[in-house]
Amino acid sequence: MNAPLKLNLGCGFKRMAGYLNVDSVPDCHPDQVVNLEQLPWPWADNSVDEIQLIHVLEHLGRDPQVFIGIMQQLYRICQSGAAIHIIVPHHRHDNFHSDPTHVRPVTPLGLMLFDRAQCEAWVAGGFANTPLALYCGVDFVTESVQHDVEALWLDRLHSGHITQAQLDDAALHQSNVITQTRFLLRVRKADPA
């Protein structure tokens, strides 16, 4: 049996040692040229145990069905317990809005729509959230969400000009406070019988 793959999807010029570096642009010299919006992907079911999507997911799936298909492909190729590391620009930062190739914001709530247990709880509670995990047959658990704060705001916090509560409030309501968000998703699949 082959060792599980580690994929650096949408690698651009940032190749990672120990990973299969994948991009749609041949000029980046990836290990494998793949357009991630063309489905299905070329990797076997349950063949991957780690994926890096670093400033990639916000570029994919302008059409919601394509984005959902990408999430289904991530689920299909990953083993149970596989780690998916995602870094995206924060949806209220100029870094997100300034790039014309950014087609969708990626938010904690948006990724929770692909968590089966969360969707089941929403359905049971009568909430209006679209239970995409149930519709699409996927299950991703968000293990961690980490926001990187703009240096100016960190300086204000560390100099005592604002409190942590004020920074948290600004991050929730203002633009250009959080530069990017880091997610760790874990693939949850039923154990084979």
Q: Is residue 173 part of a domain?
A: no
Residue 77 lies in a domain: yes
At residue 3 the predicted structure's pLDDT band, cuts being 50, 70 and 90, is: confident
Q: Cα dist. 78→52, 83, 175 in Å?
A: 12, 8, 35
Q: Is 90 exceeded by the pLDDT of residue 191?
A: no
Residue in 81, 77, 61, 79 with CA at minimum distance from that of residue 69: 61
Residue 162 in any domain: the answer is no
Mean pLDDT across 149-158? 97
**153 within some domain:** no
pLDDT tens, residue by residue, 32-46 = 999 999 999 999 999
By residue range, what is the domain housing residue 37? 5-148+179-187
pLDDT at 2: 79
Q: Are 96 and 55 in contact (CB under 8 A)?
A: no
Assigned domain for 83 exists: yes
CA distance 107 to 105: 6
> Does the model's pTM come out above 0.85?
yes
Asked if residue 47 lies in contact with residue 5, where contact means CB atoms within 8 angstroms, the answer is yes
Residue 166 falls within a domain, yes or no?
no
- Does the pLDDT value for residue 193 go beyond 90? no
User: CATH code at 73?
Assistant: 3.40.50.150
- Does any domain span residue 172? no
CB neighbours (10 Å) of residue 67?
A: 19
Give 56's DSSP letter.
Answer: -
CB 95 within 8 A of CB 89: yes
Q: Give the total number of structural domains in the chain.
A: 1
- On the question of pLDDT at 192 being above 70, the answer is no
- Domain assignment present for 163: no
pLDDT at 83 over 60: yes
